[in-house]
Each structure stands twice: as C-alpha cells, then as structure tokens.
Structure 1
C-alpha cells in the first residue's frame, strides 16, 4: 500500500510512484498547506514554466483547516483561465487534441471542494493512462505509517532524486527541458507511451 495526498494534475514524480503502487491510499485528514501541489500545478508554455493555481477560500481567524474541507473560490474564472492556458500551451503537442474533449469536463464542472477537483484529475489521468483508478481514503491522520509514504511529493520544496528520462517538450528548443512538470505535460507529449517514461 502507498499513501499519497491528492493534488491538482499531480507532478510527474507522483505518478512515477502511483504506477508502481498496487494499492493507493489518499490522505484525507491532512492540514491544508499553502504553496503545495494541493491546489497548483506547473505546465510548459512559450515563456517557460507556468503556474496554474486554484484559488481557495480563506476565512477570517481560521486555524488549521483540513485539505478535505478546503473550499474552491469560484468568484474568479480560474477554470476558464486554466483551460485556455492548456490550449495555448499544448495545442501543437501530439496528443492534446486526443484528450481535449475529455479533460474539458473538469473545467466545466462547478466544484465546491478542492479535494473533489483533485480526485477528478486523478480519475482523468488514470483513465488516459489506462491505470487502475481504485483507491481508498484515510480516516485518521497518522504521522507514521506502515504504508509506503509518498505524502512528501505534494510539497513543492521537495525535489525527487529521479523523475523520468528527458522527453521532447513543446518549447524545449527555447527553454530546454523542464523536469517534474504536471503529468499533463508528459501525457500531451507522449500519449499512451507516457507509461514507459514513468
């Protein structure tokens, strides 16, 4: 069993561990942390690395808040912005058109909770890569666990030692290879062959 924190179109490092895991457990009882992959991902655009950030609601005088209780701030058109960014960044990639209609659902559905967005992105990726989408959820937070613990991969400051071999990226002739972007970068460039890179 391997334990992960659901993140927004997770980085490649997280999926390289997900595909090796027989059983996936999603951490539901952790506290929300700002500047983590919980509500952001990075893609490649004409200017280099681009941040896509889901705005979340912050309450006055809030203490620690669990990620599962974190609300999406829908006062901003973040879904339109993210989808347009993906289209402008990847429309010339080999596989974007193949997945465009299926991924559009995530940017049309209205979400209340951040965790629901992240689970839907996981389900989209597992379907696109033809992986098992079965997972369980934690009911209590454990600081130490007997499972393989990959919760640290949700932390932006954590830099995995080995990610994947270099692959062709849309703008690598301008900016070179950028490692550990969102799994979407690998998916749109390699399609079903992404599995061999992971």
Structure 2
C-alpha cells in the first residue's frame, strides 16, 4: 500500500498515524510551497507552554515549488531550534539516545528545506524502526490505488476535525494535562521503543 503526502518538518504525530500502515510514502515536492504550514514548522512542549519552532525560508510567499525552497541561514534559527529541543527534552528518558541523530542532520546546514526535512523524516522513521519506503512522487505516475492525503493535515485546524489521529496520552515531561499531536520527537524522546505501540493505538479507524 502506498500514500501520497507533503513533506513536513519534524511532522506531528498525526502524520505518522496516517502513514503507519503503508509500505511506501510518495512525497510531493513539486507542489507550490505554502507558508504557515507544517512544511517549515513544528511544535514542542516547554515547561510553561507549547512552542512553535519555524525554519525561516527565502521566497516562501511566491509560487515556488517545495523542492526549490531555500532555508534562510541569515537568520539565527538553527541555535534557537537546537536549544529549544534541548530545553524541552534534555531530561526526557530517551533524549541522550536519539538526539545525536537529529543533531547530525542539523550540522549539515542544508541549503534546501526539502533536503533537510527528508533527512529528518528518514531519522524519525529509523528511530521508530519503520520499514516504510520513502520516495519522491513522479508526476507521471498514476494515482490509482494510492491513498492521497495532500492538503488534509492542516496546521491551522485541529486534528479533531480529521479522521486520522486520536490522542493516546503518554508520559510527557511538563504539565498536568496531556498535550496531543506535538512533533513526533515529543513521543520519541519521552517513550522511546514504546512509540510504535502508541502510534498504532493513535490511528483513528472511523
């Protein structure tokens, strides 16, 4: 089974619930880039709030293909993201085990957002021990038989409006109330190998 999706930055848990049972992910990198989406932003949980980490891009307000969007390294975002992740999850049970893999991606300082996002997605799937194959969507390929969720996972709307993900609480570091659908790194750093089980339970089968 195969699914067609966009390429997101450290995607939310909902994204992984959507792709979890698939054999192949086809990533559409030739779509027109859209601002204020999961393509360049992710959410993590700090001590007092949920924080959105955004990767600054060049020319994101024009009709540019996702594959051509460049990261704006003139803005000092990289240290902000690394410090933010360390502040949020430095004391998480599996942080020391997983973080070096993510840090290695950041130190490459990619020119293109899609290249960095693809590397990070690959790391996430590896940490989840997933055998899903990741491929770039060929515009000539037939869509017959492939599930297409492009445009469905919208950062501006609640996951509750969609039939993809149901919140399965797990032990987070901060706060008394469980915060659902954060970046997949929240689940990985907090739950480690148990993340696979949480993802399976999080799938909404309406």
* TM-score normalised to structure 2 length: 0.87
Query: Hey, what does 1:98 align to over in structure 2?
Result: 97
Structure 2 vs 1, CA of residues 133 and 23 (structure 1 numbering), >3 Å: closer, same or farther?
closer
Q: CA RMSD in A?
A: 1.9
Unaligned 5+ segments in structure 1 are none
Query: Hey, what does 1:16 align to over in structure 2?
Result: 17
> Residue 2 of structure 1 contacts residue 23 of structure 1 at CA under 8 Å; is this kept in 2?
yes
Query: Hey, what does 1:44 align to over in structure 2?
Result: 45
Structure 1, residues 37-57: CA drift from partner, whole Å, max 9, x if none?
000000000121101100001
Unaligned 5+ segments in structure 2 are 200-206
- Distance in 2, matches of 1:141 and 1:5, equals 17
> Residue 32 of structure 1 contacts residue 65 of structure 1 at CA under 8 Å; is this kept in 2?
yes
Q: How does 1:40-189 map to 2 (within 5 A)?
A: 40-58=41-59, 63-140=62-139, 146-161=145-160, 162-173=165-176, 176-189=177-190
Q: CA deviation at 1:101?
A: 1.6
> Residue 36 of structure 1 contacts residue 155 of structure 1 at CA under 8 Å; is this kept in 2?
yes
User: Which secondary structure state, in structure 1, belongs to the residue aligned with residue 57 of structure 2?
Assistant: coil
User: Which secondary structure state, in structure 2, belongs to the residue aligned with residue 43 of structure 1?
Assistant: strand
> Residue 22 of structure 2 contacts residue 132 of structure 2 at CA under 8 Å; is this kept in 1?
no
User: Which secondary structure state, in structure 2, belongs to the residue aligned with residue 172 of structure 1?
Assistant: coil
- Distance in 1, matches of 2:92 and 2:59, equals 37
Name segments (4+ residues, structure 1) moved above 4 Å. none
Query: Hey, what does 2:32 align to over in structure 1?
Result: 31
